[in-house]
Amino acid sequence: MRILISILALSLAALPLSAANLQIYFIDVEGGQATLIVSPSGESMLVDAGWPGFNGRDADRIAAAAKLAGVKRIDYLLNTHYHTDHAGGIPEIAAKIPIVHYVDHGSNTETNPGAQKLAAAYDEVAAKGKRLVVKPGDKIPLRGVEIDVVAAHGAVISKPLPGAGAPNPACASIEPKREDRSENGRSVAFILKYGNFRFANMADLTWNKENELVCPNNLIGTADVYLITHHGLDISNSPAILAALQPVVAIGNNGAKKGGVPGSFQVIRNTPSVKDIWQLHYAIPAGDLNAPEQFIANPEAENCQGHYIKLTAESDGSFTITNSRNNFSKTYKR
């Protein structure tokens, strides 16, 4: 009997801990992206891994957040696109935490030497796990939540998500911008759903691709929380996608001097549904358009401490956001 109990205890110890609700950690990687999602099942997905180098700064910050969340392995690592501030840190975090599945849009589409070096480093670590290439309409099978891929490799979904598809009046005043053939426009973008809660992560998708998702009809529906696209640059964050999503909260993964430009922040502030903007950094370019100090994880321009923002969502659609620097929290009811 004792042997059976010991075997059962060891088996349970090998299982991921249940998170009981959805947790999302927005990790400061100085203007890149590293978003750690822990589903109620205990499975995890890391969206990008920040920059390489800096004495392992970004990998250390991700590993620290994973430890706080009780995550001992990454079940899915989503490489949204092949740019250094998103994919560059993947080999370094892979050396610290086991990664089961690598998710991406396929091969790197940029061909300069730096891009090829970045892709080769990613391919080398991804070969050690299970690789999943996704296209619009696919789902990332993270247990406990629904994750719909709405854009990837320059294509977008052709049919609306459940409950979406209504005409978007904001499209009438939107003009296209110059065509973007970079990896930004090929980003893997997704909508995550947990009960009545919805989270939109468009990675670095640019203006024209955003508008393809929501014009003339809104194919992606609404979201409670919107990760400000492309670090808050104004070649993204079209008024049409903000009008379509109608987020209650926008979260900025800008750096002190990267992103957070006045044009995009003004679009977000002009969106009637938005109650608050939370930021990983004070954005020097944004000036007075920055959020109040208590909503900013890292208010200093230099020598930041890498504080994170944590979101906890319940299935009824309510959620709480906490600034790890000052423990300021705010709860948003459905």
The domain containing residue 263 runs over which residues? 16-332
State percent of the chain over pLDDT 90.
92
Res 62: pLDDT: 98
Within a domain: residue 2? Answer: no
In this prediction, residue 12 carries a pLDDT of: 35
What pLDDT was estimated at residue 15? 39
The total domain count for the chain is 1
Residue 84 in domain = yes
- Residue 269 CB coordination number (10 Å): 12
Asked if residue 305 is part of any domain, the answer here is yes
In a domain, 272, yes or no: yes
Q: How many CB atoms lie within 10 A of CB 256?
A: 20
- Strands (E) in 135-281, as ranges, are 146-152, 155-156, 189-194, 197-201, 225-227, 249-252, 276-281
Q: Is 267 a domain residue?
A: yes
Cα distances (Å, whole numbers) of residue 290 to 98, 158, 236, 279: 37, 36, 18, 8
Decide which of 94 and 3 is more confident: 94
pLDDT by residue (tens digit) across 167-178?
999 999 999 999
In a domain, 6, yes or no: no
Q: With 80 as the cut, is the pLDDT of residue 108 above it?
A: yes
Average pLDDT, whole number, for the chain?
94
How is 55-108 classified by DSSP, letter by letter? GGHHHHHHHHHHHHTT-SSEEEEE--SS-HHHHTTHHHHHTTS-EEEEEESSS-
- Across the range 42-58, mean pLDDT stands at 97
Percent of the chain scoring above 70 in pLDDT: 94
pLDDT band at 19 (very low <50, low <70, confident <90, very high): low
pLDDT at residue 7 above 90? Answer: no
Which tens digits make up the pLDDT trace of 135-160?
999 999 999 999 999 999 999 999 99
> Whole-prediction pTM value?
0.93
Q: What is the pLDDT of residues 254-308, one digit of tens each?
A: 999 999 999 999 999 999 999 999 999 999 999 999 999 999 999 997 788 999 9
Mean pLDDT for 228-233 is: 98
- Residue 246, in any domain of the structure: yes
CA distance 123 to 127: 6
Residue 17 has pLDDT above 90, yes or no: no
pLDDT band at 14 (very low <50, low <70, confident <90, very high): very low
pLDDT recorded at residue 16: 42
pLDDT of residue 140: 98
CATH number at residue 221: 3.60.15.10
Does residue 142 lie in a domain region? Answer: yes
pLDDT at 233: 97
Query: Are the beta carbons of 118 and 108 closer than 8 angstroms?
Result: yes
